[in-house]
Amino acid sequence: MSETLAPTPGQTIGPFFHDALPYPGDSLLVPPGSAGAVRLHGTVYDGSGAPVPDALVELRQADPAGRVPRVEGSLRRDGRFTGWGRAATDAAGRYAFTTVTPGGADGGAAFFAVTVFARGLLDRLFTRAYLPGESDAFLAGLPADDAATLRVLRDTRPGAGTGAGPGDLRFDIHLQGERETVFLRYPRHAFPRCGR
């Protein structure tokens, strides 16, 4: 197929998505307490360091063996691992998922693929949350400070007021500022593909 169609532009998710997009069990990719369950959590921050209480985070991931799920049922899970979930941030800008630790898909490094939406953010953002100790050519090619923004940390002690415990995975997202998260552009996001 030769013709590339002009894409429909994005727009902000706005402030009023909470009755539509969140749903019961949205952030529970596996039942809490099940074998291998881990909590992935973090805070979304704006450029002043203030938490963003009206963001939505979506997660896409492989299973522990690195297999990519092509399984329906994310909206009504019924015990199926679909490798997808979403979590709105709370009043303190926090999100949390209960899931399993992904393996690297197709022999690559193990990471969570993450999408971020927020009121005030005019288009979605993509990023990667690499498991502790994982690396690949993309991560190694970033300046150290930038690479650090894509690394999941393992909590070593309970987080005050966050409900986090030792062994939980933490991934904060900075939309802007000194610790601004590295966000991604994939090749086919460029349109038109050539200069005008």
Partner 1 sequence: MPTTTAATSAAAPPAPDSQERITAEITAAHAATAPGAAQPRIDFPPYRSSALRHPTKDPRHADPEGIELVAPVFGHSDIDPVEADLTIQHGGEPIGERMLLTGRVLDGDGRPVRHQLVEIWQANAGGRYIHKRDQHPAPIDPNFTGVGRCLTDGDGTYRFTTIKPGPYPWRNHVNAWRPAHIHFSLFGTEFTQRLITQMYFPGDPLFALDPIYQSITDRPARERLVASYDHDLTTHEWATGYRWDIVLTGTHATPLERAEHE
Which one, 21 or 148, has the nearer CB to partner 1? 21
Q: List the beta bridge partners of residue 84.
A: 60
Residue 148 phi/psi, 5° resolution?
A: -60, -30
Distance CA 187, CA 185 (A): 7
If binding is defined by CB under 5 A, does position 163 make contact with Fe ion? no
Under the binding rule (CB under 5 A), the answer on residue 14 touching Fe ion is: yes
Closest approach of partner 1 to the CB of residue 166, in Å: 27
Are the beta carbons of 134 and 62 closer than 8 angstroms?
A: no
Enumerate residues 73-102 that contact Fe ion by CB under 5 A: none
**With contacts defined by CB under 5 A, how many residues of the chain interact with Fe ion?**
1
Residue 15 as a binder of Fe ion (CB under 5 A): the answer is no
Residue 51 is classified by DSSP as B
Q: How many CB atoms within 10 Å of residue 10?
A: 11
SS3 label, residue 26: coil
d(CA 15, CA 39) in angstroms, rounded, equals 26
Min dist CB 158 to partner 1, Å, is 30
As measured in angstroms, the least distance from the Cβ of 2 to partner 1 is: 9
Select 33 or 141, whichever has its Cβ closest to partner 1. 141
Q: Which is nearer to partner 1, 115 or 162 (CB)?
A: 115
Interface positions with Fe ion (CB under 5 A): 14
